[in-house]
Structures are given as C-alpha cells and as structure tokens.
Amino acid sequence: MSTYKRGGVYWYEFEFKGQRVRESTHQGNDKVARTMEGAHRARLAELEKAKDAAKERLGCDEVLTCHKCEELFNAAKAVRREDGVFCGIQCARSWGKSRSMPTLKSFLDDRFIPDVEVTHKAKAKTVRYYKQGAAMLKKSSFADLRLDELTGEHSGKFAAEFKHLSPSGINMGLRTLRRALNLAFQWGVIEKPVRVELAKGENQRDRALTEEELNPYLEACPQPWKDAATIISEEGMRPGETFVMRWEYLFLGEDGTGLIRVVDGKSRAAKRIIPMTPKVHALLWARWIEQDKPAEGWVLPTDAKCGHLEEQTAKRQHAVAMAAVQESHDVQPFVPYVLRHTALTRLAKAAKGDVFALAKIAGHSSITITQKYVHPEMETVDQVFSRLADGKKASVGAGKSSRVPTKSPTPKRKAAKVLMAASTN
C-alpha cells in the first residue's frame, strides 16, 4: 500500500489493471488512510469478479455499467449519450428525463398556474384557491426538490411545517400539491402518481340539519340570503348555482309546480333540470310578482358589481343568522354548504337508495360522491327483492303482450322541453 501525506491529510496511490488510482482520504490518521486504501482495492476486485461473471453470462468480450440502472451489460450494445453510457433506449430516455426534471417550484410557476388560469378562467374562486395553495408550497422546505423526488411522505412534512394553520388552511396547500402532481403524471412529466394525504380535522360539510335547527336559522337570515338558503336546503343546489339563477331558465306553473334549469356548473353533470318543491315554488312565485313578472334577469339581484347575490354577501348574512340562532336556539355553527347536504340527505331517503336518481338531482359526475348521502335501511332492501320477485311472477303469468298506450306529455315534460330549447338558443 502506498500512502503519503500532503497538506495535513493522507492520500493513497496504486495501480489496478494497468490504471493508476489516486485519491485523498481527507484524514490526518495514517492507519485510517491505509484502511480506506484497502477498502478501495477490495471494491475494485469485487467489481472485476462481477464483470467476469457478467461476460460469461452474456457471452461477450466487454461489459459496462449502465448509468441509469447500474446493471452490467454487453458493451457492444451500449447506447451512448453525451452524459453517459446506457444499456438500452429506455434507460437513456429515463436518464435524460430525470436530468431535465423540473423542481416543484418551477413546475408550479411555469406549467401549473398557467394551466389553472386557462382551465378555470370562468371560476375566479378556484383560480384564487390554487394560487394561494401554490404560494404556500413554494414556501415549503421541499419547494426546490425535483418532482420525481416527491413522495407521500412530503404531505405529512408540509402539514408539520404549517401546523400553525387550521386543517382547512393546510389542506389548501395539500390539495394544490395533489392536483399539481396528478397533472404532472397526466402530462408525462413523472412516471407514476404520488398519493397525497389530507390533514385530519378539517371542518366537514357533510352535516345534515334537523328541522329544529333549520327553521329558526332560515327565519334569522337576512334577504336575499334567506331565499337563497331556502332554495339550497330544499332543492340541494350548490350555492354558486343558486346565486346565478335567471328567470329565463325557470318554469313557474300556476298549479304550484315548477322547474329550475341549471345551465352551468362544475361538470357536465351539473347541467340539469330540477323540479321545484312547493315551498320553493311559493318563494319564487312571490319574488316573480314582486319583481313585476320579469321574463329574464337575475332571480336574486343585488347592488354588487356582478348584479346578483355573491359569495361574500352570502357569508356575511350567514354569519348574522348564525350569531342569532346560536344565542337563541343553541344551534352549533355550520358552513353554508351544509344546507345542500341537508337537502340531499333528505332527498336520499325519498329516493329509497336510488343513488343514480340522487346523483342526477345533485349534479354529481360520479355516484361515488353521491353514495355518502344514501343509507338504505333493511326494510328498503327487502322491498327491492320483493319487487323483483313480483316482477318475475308477473312475467311468467303474462299471456300475449299487450301494447301499453303512449302517455301524453305532462306539463312538466313540456316545460322541460321549453327550457332545453331556451338554453340552446
């Protein structure tokens, strides 16, 4: 072994297979330096044994180590690039992709935020939400990590770094991270999706109000939020859908029936026609008379710049009502969206477990979301099997098929056609 001291630290130098090896140990102890030299020689010897075994296994004269997978391969089949030697095209491409992998911060600035601004152009609230979440992520300790270095563990790390925020505030950043990584996977930037767990303890909106809670709350609401809250709690509409209701998309029958057409929403399924409950019909009929029977325009007009009831006004008026019922009726605080959940929970019972019908009413694009409102009891399950058995008996006992007379269109069906035609013109 050949070790020598230079500048206060030991170096070693030796020849192996005709090549000179010289390295600094960064150590001031000669015994440690000699041990490190011996370990280096042993590694080189093991590598030679592995190369000999690989030559015999592959049946070739020379082998190389792939820069990507670090496996020994036939040198004659090498794929050479400026930055390395690879065992195949796949490894070469993977290596190049990893070298050009963006950091989380650069991906958010260069691709994610521009996509959010275009995709959600008509939804200022969504754009603002993702921008605030992205700003939080760029302040995190892993903002400068490459996307392929991020794992599910970083969601917990983010929650720990922002523990001074509420669970809802933490989840703003985590939902943004989840959305950004999902897009990175869809766009082929990363090779596999990353699971991002949300923080526990966030205020959930899946509470259903009792009549004893709902009625005094609605009485305490100022207008126009009172009418909006009533519609949401009766029809199960989203608050944003209720705020932008227009008279040209409503059918108000003189017989107490009516239809509401939702022309815009979060997804294609959000565009739907909903029958009015008697309470909502009476409310809207009174508004229609009060507004001098308009044929078009906002149902819930205000002095706001947009011309109709909007989120901030609704929140303020909700807070007023909430303060009143907390003091007088001891109602526990809830967010406005609970009104929609209250309606859908009640409608789920009326649907008797028909999750597809409820999804249509709610405007859900997936019944997975709707299922949380449906809790069929055993009696309902028994009725399903009974109806199935009765249907089979009827089909067995039936003789010649009889033609069922065609039903004439009901007023609601006619109104639905009118609303559909109005929306396309």
Whole-number pLDDT of residue 407: 52
Is 229 in the same domain as 339? yes
Residue 353 banded pLDDT, cuts 50, 70, 90? confident
**377-387 residue pLDDT tens:** 555 666 667 77
Residue 56 banded pLDDT, cuts 50, 70, 90? confident
Question: Mean pLDDT over residues 245-251, rounded?
Answer: 96
Whole-number pLDDT of residue 418: 59
Whole-number pLDDT of residue 421: 62
**177-194 residue pLDDT tens:** 999 999 999 998 888 889
Is residue 204 included in any domain, yes or no? no
Is 287 in the same domain as 341? yes
Among candidate residues 170, 186, 202, the one where a domain is terminated: 186
Is 51 in the same domain as 79? no
List the one residue out of 58, 100, 91 whose CA is nearest residue 75. 58
Is residue 140 included in any domain, yes or no? yes
Whole-number pLDDT of residue 166: 87
Whole-number pLDDT of residue 123: 78
Is 133 in the same domain as 263? no
Is 9 in the same domain as 133? no
Is 86 in the same domain as 149? no
Is residue 200 included in any domain, yes or no? no
Is residue 308 included in any domain, yes or no? yes
Q: Is the pLDDT reported for residue 284 higher than 90?
A: yes
Whole-number pLDDT of residue 211: 93
Among candidate residues 373, 404, 420, the one where a domain is terminated: 373
Whole-number pLDDT of residue 290: 96
What is d(CA 416, CA 388) in angstroms, rounded to the nearest whole number? 31
Return the minimum-mean-pLDDT range out of 63-67, 114-118, 281-285.
63-67
Kindly report the average pLDDT of the chain as a whole number. 86
List the one residue out of 94, 66, 69, 81 whose CA is nearest residue 188. 94
Residue 124 banded pLDDT, cuts 50, 70, 90? confident
Is 298 in the same domain as 356? yes
The CATH number assigned to the domain holding 265 equals 1.10.443.10
Residue 54 banded pLDDT, cuts 50, 70, 90? confident
Is 29 in the same domain as 75? no
Q: Is the pLDDT reported for residue 134 higher than 90?
A: yes
Is 110 in the same domain as 174? yes
Question: Mean pLDDT over residues 372-394, rounded?
Answer: 67
Whole-number pLDDT of residue 404: 44
Question: Is 94 or 36 the better-scoring residue by pLDDT?
Answer: 36
Whole-number pLDDT of residue 390: 73
Domain containing residue 258: 211-373
Q: Is the pLDDT reported for residue 393 higher than 80?
A: no
Residue 402 banded pLDDT, cuts 50, 70, 90? very low
Question: Is 393 or 335 the better-scoring residue by pLDDT?
Answer: 335
Is residue 38 included in any domain, yes or no? yes
Is 288 in the same domain as 353? yes
Whole-number pLDDT of residue 425: 55
Is residue 393 included in any domain, yes or no? no
Domain count, the chain: 4
Is 93 in the same domain as 109? no
Is residue 6 included in any domain, yes or no? yes
Is residue 1 included in any domain, yes or no? yes
Whole-number pLDDT of residue 344: 92
What is d(CA 140, CA 196) in angstroms, rounded to the nearest whole number? 15
Whole-number pLDDT of residue 223: 96
Q: Is the pLDDT reported for residue 362 higher than 80?
A: yes
Return the minimum-mean-pLDDT range out of 90-94, 155-159, 227-231.
90-94
Is 93 in the same domain as 168? no
**11-51 residue pLDDT tens:** 988 888 888 888 898 888 988 888 998 999 898 888 889 88
